[in-house]
Structure 1
Amino acid sequence: MKLPKLTDRFPLEIGTSAPLLIRQESVHLGLGGEELKLLFASDLHLGGRRSLRAIEQLVAAVTETKPNLVLLGGDLVDFRWGIPLLESCVLQLVAQAPVWAISGNHDVWVGMTAMRRAVETGGGFWLEENSVKLSTIRIDGFVDHDPTSRALRILCAHNPAVFSFAVAAGYSLVLAGHLHGCQWVFWERLNRLYPGAWFYRWNGLRFELNNATLIVSRGMGDTLPVRWNCPREVILCNIF
C-alpha cells in the first residue's frame, strides 16, 4: 500500500478514511556527516473498528520511509481488546525497523503490564525508564538529569508539557504527542494551532527553547475520530 503525496486535502476527517500524512522534520544536532531517520508515531488509540486500517497505514509509512528506528509515543491502546492489535502492529513494524515504545495516559488506564507485554511479545522494546544508544545519540524514555552525559540526547515523551524540564536536563530534541492539535484547527500562527493553543502552551507543531527543539505530533488516531484541518500523521525526523 503506497501512501499518496498529500498536497490538498478536504479539511474534515472522520475515522481513518483519509490518507495518513508523513510529516517531514529536520533537526541539526551536529552528527558530522551522519544522518539518523526516526519515525515517530504517537496516539494510535487502537481498539475500534478503524484500528486495522490505521495499522495498515502505519506499516505502509514505515515501509516507504525506511527509518533507522520507529518510536511509538504513547496512547497506543484505548481498550483492552486493542492490546492484541498492538502486538500485531509491532510484529509487522519490526520486520521493517527496530521499534521502541512508551506509554501515555490512556495506556495507564488500560494496564501497563499488558501494554509492555504486547510490545515485547511483538518483538519491540519498552523504552520507558530505559535508553537506546545509536552512534553518538542516546534516546531516552524518561527525563534523565545526568550532568555527566556527553551524548546528544533525545527524549521520546508523550506529553509535550515535559519540554521545559527536558531542556533544563540537557536534551537537544523532544518528540511528543498527546494534544492531537486539539483536532479542530481553524488557523495557524507561528507553528501554533488555534484555538487549542489558547488553552495549551505546546499545542503546535515545532518549538525552540535554549537551542533545544520540541516536535509535537498531531497523532495518528483519536478516541473521538473526528478532525477538522488537523490531519492524522506520523513524523519522519531527519537528524543530521
Structure 2
Amino acid sequence: MLLFLVIPLLGAAAILADVLRFRRLRLQHRPVAPLRMLWCGVTDLIPVAVPLAGLVVSDNTTGYMAAVMWLVWIWMLTVLPRLVYYIFRLLHLRRTGIVLACGIAAALIWGATLGRTDVHVSRVEVCSPRLPAGFDGMRIVQLSDMHLGTIVSPERELTRIVDSVNAMRPELVIFTGDLVNIRASELDGQAVRLLRRIEAPVVSVTGNHDVGSYIKDTVSLPRERSLADLLAAQRAMGWRVLDDETLYLHRGGDSISLSGVSFDPALRKQRHDSELEATNLDRVYAGVPDSLYNLTAVHLPQLWEQITARGYGDLTLAGHVHAMQFKVRLFGRAWSPAAWLYERWSGRYDEQGRTLYINDGTGYVAYPMRLGAWPEVTLFTLKRCE
C-alpha cells in the first residue's frame, strides 16, 4: 500500500532531521533535555519497529492489528507536525511552522475522534431509460468496508450506522465487502446483534479482507475456513450473500437483475492494481439476459470496465478504496492520495449510460482516522428517464 511506502521515507527524514538538530544544539553548547531526545527517538523509530514486530508475531491477530493501527497514528501525530516545523524553521519562518504544526496535530486528533465516527449520508439519484417503470423511485442503501476488527467503539459506531440506514427506509441494503478486517470471529455476538437491527433486506459480497488474505497462521486457521465461517454467520443473521451469482428483483410487475461479484483470492496481491483480470464474471452473469436493467455489487472498482463490457452494470456499486481515509475538499472538488493508485477512487462515475459508485466505507484500516473521507452511507434513488 502507498501509505507503507511513504511512512518509512518520512520516518527516515524525521530521524535525519532530529540527528542533525540535536548535533547542532550540542555544537552550540546548548543543553538538550534527555527526555526530549528519547521522545523524538522513540517516535521516529515506529516505522522501523512495526515491520520488525510483524516479522516476529506468529499471526495478525485482531489485537495486534489494532495496536499497529494506533502506533501508526501516534507516529503521524508526533512526527509529521515536527517535520513541518523543521522545514519552516529552516526557511526562517519559525512562527509559521509552529502554527502549521499545531494545525496538523489538531486535524489528526479531529480525524481520530469526530472524523472517524461522524456518519455522512450521500444521496444519489440514478436515471436510466433501461430501468423498468415498476422500479421507478426504488430506494437502495449501500454500505461498505466496515472492518469490524478495527472498530474502536463498536456499540456506538455500529449503532450510528444502523440508525442512519433505518432512517432512510430503503427497500434494499447492499454491502460491498470487507465486513471484517482479518478473520471471521470479528463478526462477534455484539456486531451480529447490532447489524440485525437493519430493517431492510441486506445483500452482500466479499472483499479482500473477508477472504482471510491477511491471516498469517493458516495452519491454526485456514483462510478457507475463516471465509466459510464468515459467510455462514452473515447468512445466519439474515443477509443474502451473493457468491458470484445473480438474483432477480421484482417490483410492480417488472424485474431487474442483481449480481454479486465475490473477491477472487487469486487477486490478493494485485488488489490495488489499476488493471485486473477477473476470472469469475462468466459465472456471475451466466444466463442473465443483458436486456434487463442490472445492478452489480463488487468490492473492487477496477472491475467496472470488464463488467460493462459484458453488457451489465447499469449501476455498479463498489468499495475497497476508502479514499485512503483522507480527502481534501476545495471549491466543490475533492482530491486524495488514492488518485495516485486508482483511476476511479471515490463517488460517482458515468460513462455511456452506465454508473459506477465507489462508497468510501465506514470503517478504517492502517490508522484509526478519517479526514475528509467521512464514514459514508449512500442512498440511491432509481429513476426511469427517457
**Into which bin does the TM-score normalised by the smaller protein fall?**
0.7 to 0.9
How far the C-alpha of 1:182 sits from its partner, in A, is 1.5
Higher relative contact order (CA 8 A, sep 6+): 1
Other-structure match for 2:358: 216
Q: Does 1:226 align with 2:369?
A: yes
| Residue pair 1:192, 1:203 contacting (<8 A) in 2 also | no
Q: Secondary structure at the match of 1:24?
A: strand
TM-score by length of structure 1 reads 0.86
Per-residue CA deviations over 1:171-202 (Å, capped at 9, x if unaligned) read 21110010001211224699663332122111
2:293 match: 152
Q: 1:218 to 1:125 in 2, by over 3 A?
A: same
Q: 2:257 touches 2:294 (CA, 8 Å); kept in 1?
A: yes
Task: Tell whether the 8 Å contact from 2:246 to 2:288 is kept in structure 1 after alignment.
Answer: no
Per-residue displacement from partner, 1:106-149 (whole Å, max 9, x unpaired)?
A: 11116210111111111111112222322322111024265743
Deviation at 1:206, TM superposition (A): 1.0
The separation in 1 between residues aligned to 2:332 and 2:307, in whole angstroms, is: 22
Segment drifting more, 131-140 vs 11-20: 11-20
Aligned twin of 1:117: 232
Local SS of the residue matching 1:134: strand
Instruction: Give me the whole-angstrom Cα distance separating, in 2, the residues matched to 1:172 and 1:72.
Output: 18
Does the 8 A contact of 1:129 with 1:140 survive in 2?
A: yes
> Which segment is superposed worse, 229-238 or 17-26?
17-26
* Contact 2:204–2:240 (8 Å) recurs in 1: yes
Q: 1:66 to 1:147 in 2, by over 3 A?
A: closer
* Residue matched to 1:140: 259
Q: How many Å separate the matches in 2 of 1:128 and 1:189? A: 41
RMSD (Å) for aligned C-alpha atoms: 2.4
**Residue 230 of structure 1: SS of its match in structure 2?**
coil
Q: Higher mean Cα deviation, 127-136 or 180-189?
A: 180-189
Code of the aligned partner of 1:156: A
In the alignment, structure 1 residue 130 sits paired with structure 2 residue 245: yes
User: What's the CA shift string for 1:145-177, capped at 9, x where partnerless?
Assistant: 657432100110111101101110212111001
- Aligned partner of 1:13 in structure 2 is 111
Distance 1:100 1:15, change over 3 A: farther
Question: Are residue 35 (structure 1) and residue 35 (structure 2) matched?
Answer: no
Deviates more, 1:126-135 or 1:14-23: 14-23
- Contact 1:76/1:86 (8 A) holds in 2: no
For residue 140 of structure 1, what is the amino acid of its counterpart? Answer: S
- Change in CA separation of 1:115 and 1:158 when aligned onto 2, cut-off 3 Å: same
1:27 and 1:239 in contact (8 A); partners too: yes
Q: Which residue of 2 aligns with 1:82?
A: 186
Unaligned 5+ segments in structure 2 are 1-106, 213-222, 262-280
TM normalised by structure 2 equals 0.55
Higher share in helix: 2
The reply to whether residue 105 of structure 1 matches residue 197 of structure 2 is no
Residue type matched to 1:152 in 2?
Answer: Y
Match for 1:19: what amino acid? D
For residues 209 and 374 of structure 2, the distance between their equivalents in structure 1, rounded to whole angstroms, comes to 21
Q: How far 1:204 moved relative to its partner?
A: 2.5
- Measured against aligned partners, the alpha-carbon deviations of 1:10-59 in whole angstroms (never above 9, x if no partner) come to 89422575321111111012332622111110000102432222220121
Percent identity over the alignment is 25
Output the CA distance in 2 between the equivalents of 1:89 and 1:167: 35
Which stretches in structure 1 are left out of the alignment for 5+ residues?
1-9
